[in-house]
Amino acid sequence: MRTGTVDPMHLKGRTAIVTGASRGIGRAIALRLAREGANIAFNYLSDEAGARSLEKELKALGVAGQGFKADVRDYGQVQKMREAVSAQFEGFDILVNNAGILKDAALMMMAPEDWKNVIDTNLTGIFNVTRAVITTFMKQKKGNIVNIASVSGLRGMARQTNYAASKGGAIAFTKSLAKEVAGHHIRVNAVVPGYIETEMLGHLKKGYLEDAVGKIPLGYIGKPEDVANAVNFLLSPEAQYITGQIVQVDGGMGI
């Protein structure tokens, strides 16, 4: 193994499951891992066009890529997806839990369904997909999991009690599972993005983002590829002694 840089094509022949990859950060992660040689099984909620175009891009990179329509909130759908992945790919040992949503509101205005939807997607979704694959990872004594959390889950954000609670939960889940499965040679880490240029930011209140940029030490919004690079590092042999860690990709916002 070389040291100092991540070996190119270090994921050759391996298969990664990436949730919520039809667009945004998940898509960038899928493409980044594919460039390292990984075959990609990904899911999405409803964006068929995004899923089909990602499959084409993955094929062009010379790896196997297949999108599955599966709602991470629904354990039955997730199990079916895992079975389909097992049937179509030769084993898998990487999981990136990325699917997530935002439904911001002041608590006094927050609809119970917006609380539930965010917790079910961002936190129960991580449970559902990880639960569906963990037995396989444990049996093969090999596995690598990266959860995508948020600065909101570390520091809290006004109008994001639902989102912050889900992401704080994802961080606690990461640390607990890392301790639980380390003996099976499975690493579990989280990447905590700050503001990243995706459709999700379009849901923020007008003017909010302009204020937020002023509080980012590096002075600009990040790109999905910035998050994908951190995920790639955590999946690489260079990170073999790292587990239960929270890597912030936020331009210094969390300092």
Active site residue ranges = 163
CB 189 within 8 A of CB 174: yes
For the window 75-114, what string marks contact with ligand NDP as x by the rule CB under 6 A? -----------------------xxxx-------------
Q: Is 248 in the site for ligand NDP (CB under 6 A)?
A: no
Q: Which string of DSSP letters, residue by residue, matches 220-250?
A: S-B-HHHHHHHHHHHHSGGGTT--S-EEEES
Specify the stretch interacting with ligand NDP by CB under 6 A; choose among 2-10, 69-77, 136-144, 205-213. 69-77
For the CB of residue 209, give the shortest distance to ligand NDP in the complex, in Å: 9
Whichever of 46 and 88 has its CB closer to ligand NDP, that residue is 46
The Cα 126–Cα 134 span in angstroms is 12
Which residues from 212-241 bind ligand NDP, rule CB under 6 A? none
Q: Is 244 in the site for ligand NDP (CB under 6 A)?
A: no
CB 89 within 8 A of CB 63: no
The Cα 253–Cα 220 span in angstroms is 10
Q: Is 25 in the site for ligand NDP (CB under 6 A)?
A: yes
- Tokens linked to 114: 């917006």
For the window 142-171, what string marks contact with ligand NDP as x by the rule CB under 6 A? ------x-x---------------------
What are the backbone dihedrals phi and psi of residue 156, each rounded to the nearest 5 degrees, phi first? 80, 150
Task: Tell me the C-alpha to C-alpha distance, in Å, between residue 49 and each of 74, 138, 207.
Answer: 22, 35, 31
# residues contacting ligand NDP (CB under 6 A): 31
| Residue ranges that bind ligand NDP, judged by CB under 6 A | 19-26, 43-47, 50, 71-73, 98-101, 121, 148, 150, 193, 195-196, 198-201
